[in-house]
Structure 1
Amino acid sequence: MGRRRPSARLIPRGQQPTGCGASGRSGGGGPEGTACRGGSAMTHHTRIDDFLLQSDAELFQLVDDLISVDSQIPPHADERAIVARLLEVTERFGLGEQTVIGPTEQRPSLIVRMRGSGGGRNLMLNGHTDTKPVGEAREQWVSDPLTPTVRDGRIYGLGAVDMKAALAAMIFAARALKECGVPLRGDLLIGAIADEEAGAQLGAKFVAPLLRDVDAILIGEPSGWDHDWQAIHLVSRGVCGFRVSVKGTQMHSSLSDRMPSVNASLKAAELLLRIARELDVPFTPHPLGDVGPTLNPGVMISGGTFFGVVPGQAEFACDLRTVPGQTRDDVARAIERWLAACRAADPDLDVEYSFEPGLDWVPWSELDAAHPLVAATQAAAADVLGAAPPLGVFPGGTDAPWYSGLGIPTLPSFGPGVLTGAHGPNEYVSVQSVRDAARMYARIAADFCS
């Protein structure tokens, strides 16, 4: 790619693989076996489906195993245990070369490369291994977050939909291709990537420059919000995090009616209400659904010292989801215009803003609808679901921009489950969507890599 490769602290895994810039271990190379080699695509699909049907219990055992591994973002946990589990599984299945890479041993990512016969396009199926923390909603969980529980056709557990079920489906899709002997000319890679939930600085942003010979990437983020498989998302919105900080007069609260004072928390509350109505960041609605940016003020709030004290400082954080065409400079100018108007209206207002380190600008990403990966995804969806979902815009951010920014075409979201269940209590993924995902991922890889 003509880019300087960043230094990496690697966990040794044996021989150096071609194409990942890190240590690797051979697991048997490309697809083996002769069950359907040389047959038609329809024959391959039948054999794949039969294999996955026979392996159904194993697939869901892997989903359960991954949910049971605590991989909350630090300081709660990290990705070491889940990568160790994935190493064991992919080696046992003989899925190919294993590469573990990361900026530290505490934040590893895993890439598995199943070699094709040569001369075809290489595809990476990508999922992240970390989860958001359980957080303050712990008491709202009806079962233990790290104990997978099946109710009414759904699997409940932390990371079920975001996105451990998708990772399990990717692994079994690759296993089905291998065991059925489906001939792939290109390589199939599986990326189990760290740190997506905290901005990807130690995950996809670190890994992307080290990838070699990857022609396209499909990310298995949940692609529905009302129902499973709602869209094939060609766009993921970006993320821009910033904080608004207000200074006041810290003093004895009993004197607030006798001496001039500024309550920083009260001023911050007024700004919190205003910014939701007034912040204007220019954008062009996206043609796939006429989608614009989303601002969530007050995702975190802090301020004050204790009872008896007029608050001398207060702060709130904002989460802005951006769309193609917007820039960090656009956001900065919009915030500065808004704050200038607020200061002009209130001479007592002492306010500043700052971008959040690591989340100051996670770019948006977009894949051309004419890319061959889109056609392969549509064909697989039509075959498995009966009709291909429409093309759309993913509501959230994904790892896609770190790949597409380096010239690797990336489909930001096509995965099992609904985003509605993520980042809150009682996260779940439907059992049927996981089965569908494995069948579709196998078809997409067979099509694209052939």
Structure 2
Amino acid sequence: MTTHTTPVDVRSIDEFLDAHADELIDLVHDLIAINSQIPPYGDEREIVAFLRSTLTRMGLDEDITIIGPTEDRPSMIARMRGTGGGANLMLNGHVDTKPIGEARELWRKPPLEAIVEDGILYGLGATDMKGAVAAMIFAAYALRASGAALAGDLVLGLIADEEAGAQLGAKFVAPHVSDVDAILIGEPSGWEHDWQGIHLVSRGVCGFRVIVQGTQMHSSLSDRMPSVNASLKLADLMLRIGAELDLPFTPHPLGQVGPTLNTGVMIDGGTFFGVVPGRAEFACDLRTVPGQTREEVAEALDRWLDACRTADPELQVEYHFEEGLDWIPWSELDAEHPLVAATQRAAADVLGEAPPLSVFPGGTDAPWYSQLGIPTLPSFGPGVLTCAHGPNEYVSVDSIHQAAKMYARIALDFCSSPIDTDN
């Protein structure tokens, strides 16, 4: 791909973003203040309405589509049309957050009130991923305000329901995305520090539950009559599954990454004091790598549980996959794709050096697009994944400003180049 970026374009874009730096951070504050936790804790209606009004104020409302399976789960696609003849790029960010959850009391400040201390912005969704959403919007704003002429279209995909499995978000939206040549997702790309990698792979997610049946009865008789305590049987399985479940995989060459099994992400069992537990279950969150399949996971679970039943005739156990989270596929972008080169050039220009190519530890919206043939870069965004989904989530102010400058450069580079039909 031949780039048409000129120093004048970049300088004017940077001048605009520097002059509006406070407004960019104000937008992050505004987004955090809107409760877009996944239902039933919140929803995306208010934040999508706010973002639509924001794009209108910025003059970026020439082509906006609100899309979703129902009116209360909206996503928004905004297209800034180019002059023609160039590749079309979507900058994609999700607008929902995980629930505040049981860690509410560990927040130093209210989670929906963003604060900045020593250059760090705290608030629910700060790094995952309202900082990136704001940076994407300001990148488009800067391109429009500076008069940068893009041959291709720049599209903003502001998507619902990523945190609950994307069934009502990207999975629904992806088949309706047309005339887009590549997608960049702004998930936080660090885990120890900002901009740790340009992630070409996102791991998949497979959720399942293991359920044990026991003998529900009066607990005072457990030493006098035969009984099976479902919770104790469950505890034994929880301790063993990590070492015994045989999941075939090929380590990925970008870091030799394999699958990760998180046991007991949820546990439930028992009735009350005085009752031997007659049922207990635990949930597992399996992060999969390219090449793995749902069928292979099912076969591995069947083999393991058959062996457990053989070893313990009292054991009554079954499993089932979690609806909506049974198989979120992994995704992978070819390292030779022009979007990768454009991202590397932008990163080298802004950061001084392009981060290495890597594997994103988590899942993203990428597979819903890539499965339909749209090349998608799963993660390049401000912040660190380490603080996401927990108390005192944060993102550095500098990384948000850097993101806006890099996203603008990536769009200027990628969209100003001819469409590469080989990729």
Counterpart pick for 1:199 among 161, 165, 172: 165
- The answer for the alignment partner of 2:205 in structure 1 is 239
- The answer for the alignment partner of 2:47 in structure 1 is 82
Counterpart pick for 1:164 among 106, 125, 130: 130
- The answer for the alignment partner of 1:31 in structure 2 is none
TM-score, structure 2 length as denominator? Answer: 0.97
- Pairwise CA distance, 1:412: 0.1
**Residue 349, structure 1, aligned to residue 315, structure 2:** yes
The separation in 2 between residues aligned to 1:337 and 1:143, in whole angstroms, is 48
- Pairwise CA distance, 1:215: 0.2
One-letter code aligned to 2:77: I
The separation in 2 between residues aligned to 1:199 and 1:427, in whole angstroms, is 21
One-letter code aligned to 1:263: N
Offset from partner CA, 1:381-440 (integer Å, 9 cap, x none) = 000000000000000000000000000000000000000010000000001100000000
- Pairwise CA distance, 1:42: 1.1
The separation in 2 between residues aligned to 1:120 and 1:191, in whole angstroms, is 19
- The answer for the alignment partner of 2:282 in structure 1 is 316
The separation in 1 between residues aligned to 2:134 and 2:356, in whole angstroms, is 25
- The answer for the alignment partner of 1:139 in structure 2 is 105
**Alignment RMSD, CA only?**
0.7
Offset from partner CA, 1:35-67 (integer Å, 9 cap, x none) = xxxx96111111111100000111011000000
- The answer for the alignment partner of 1:93 in structure 2 is 58
Higher relative contact order (CA 8 A, sep 6+): 2
- The answer for the alignment partner of 1:16 in structure 2 is none
Offset from partner CA, 1:294-329 (integer Å, 9 cap, x none) = 000100000000000000000000000000000000
Offset from partner CA, 1:323-379 (integer Å, 9 cap, x none) = 000000010001011101111111100000000000000000000000000000000
- Secondary structure of 1:415 counterpart: coil
Residues 329-344 of structure 1: matches in 2 within 5 Å? Answer: 329-344=295-310
**Residue 46, structure 1, aligned to residue 21, structure 2:** no
Counterpart pick for 1:294 among 260, 269, 272: 260
Counterpart pick for 1:71 among 36, 42, 45: 36
**Residue 118, structure 1, aligned to residue 84, structure 2:** yes
One-letter code aligned to 1:54: A
One-letter code aligned to 1:105: E
- Secondary structure of 2:369 counterpart: helix
**Residue 176, structure 1, aligned to residue 145, structure 2:** no
The separation in 1 between residues aligned to 2:15 and 2:138, in whole angstroms, is 12
The separation in 2 between residues aligned to 1:41 and 1:264, in whole angstroms, is 67
- The answer for the alignment partner of 1:387 in structure 2 is 353
- The answer for the alignment partner of 2:402 in structure 1 is 436
Contact residue 189 and residue 382 of structure 2 kept, 8 A: yes
The separation in 2 between residues aligned to 1:264 and 1:425, in whole angstroms, is 33
Tell which deviates more after alignment, 406-415 or 335-344.
335-344
One-letter code aligned to 1:62: L
- Secondary structure of 1:344 counterpart: helix
**Residue 210, structure 1, aligned to residue 179, structure 2:** no
- The answer for the alignment partner of 1:405 in structure 2 is 371
- The answer for the alignment partner of 2:189 in structure 1 is 223
The separation in 2 between residues aligned to 1:182 and 1:254, in whole angstroms, is 78
- Pairwise CA distance, 1:449: 0.2
Contact residue 211 and residue 319 of structure 2 kept, 8 A: yes
One-letter code aligned to 2:314: D
The separation in 1 between residues aligned to 2:288 and 2:346, in whole angstroms, is 30
- Secondary structure of 1:223 counterpart: coil
- The answer for the alignment partner of 1:418 in structure 2 is 384
- Secondary structure of 1:417 counterpart: coil
Percent of matched pairs sharing the same residue: 74
- The answer for the alignment partner of 1:188 in structure 2 is 154
Counterpart pick for 1:151 among 110, 113, 117: 117
Contact residue 5 and residue 413 of structure 2 kept, 8 A: no
- The answer for the alignment partner of 2:25 in structure 1 is 60
TM-score, structure 1 length as denominator? Answer: 0.91
The separation in 2 between residues aligned to 1:355 and 1:119, in whole angstroms, is 46
How many residues get paired? Answer: 412
The separation in 1 between residues aligned to 2:114 and 2:330, in whole angstroms, is 33
The separation in 2 between residues aligned to 1:431 and 1:309, in whole angstroms, is 53
One-letter code aligned to 1:336: D
Residues 362-381 of structure 1: matches in 2 within 5 Å? Answer: 362-381=328-347
- Pairwise CA distance, 1:97: 1.1
**Residue 273, structure 1, aligned to residue 273, structure 2:** no
The separation in 2 between residues aligned to 1:413 and 1:42, in whole angstroms, is 27
Offset from partner CA, 1:72-125 (integer Å, 9 cap, x none) = 000011000000110000011111311101001110000110000011100000
The separation in 1 between residues aligned to 2:309 and 2:391, in whole angstroms, is 39
The separation in 1 between residues aligned to 2:171 and 2:384, in whole angstroms, is 25
Q: 4+ runs of 1 displaced by more than 2 Å?
A: none
One-letter code aligned to 1:344: T
Offset from partner CA, 1:268-317 (integer Å, 9 cap, x none) = 01000110111111000000000000000100000000000000000000
